[in-house]
Amino acid sequence: MSYKALYRTYRPSSFEEVVGQQHIVTTLKHAVKQNKIAHASLLCGLPRTGKPTIAKLLAKAVNSEDQQNAARHQCPNCYALTPAK
């Protein structure tokens, strides 16, 4: 029997699916859209608040070949960063 934790099963796959961190999501989406990404981002906070999830979504957005349509996640780089379900 295979066990999969709920946080892995229901992990957001785009910035639009993130719940409860709208101020962070808005800031990062604007930075990606304007191509003004900081050289480092410090994600800090309480456990289980979505720090790794936000980091993975930011990595997808930054590494996307099609910056204008980065939210669609349809380029080869986005597929490579998406874990198999």
pTM above 0.85, yes or no: no
Let me know: does 27 contact 57? Beta carbons within 8 Å. Answer: no
Where is pLDDT greater, at 73 or 17? 17
Where is pLDDT greater, at 72 or 22? 22
Sheet strands (E) in the chain = none
At 71, list the tokens: 């939210």
Nearest to residue 29, comparing CAs of 17, 20, 13, 16? 16
Chain segment 18-44, per-residue pLDDT in tens: 988 899 999 999 998 898 999 998 999
Where is pLDDT greater, at 76 or 69? 76
Give the per-residue pLDDT at 69.
Answer: 61
At 8, list the tokens: 């892995």
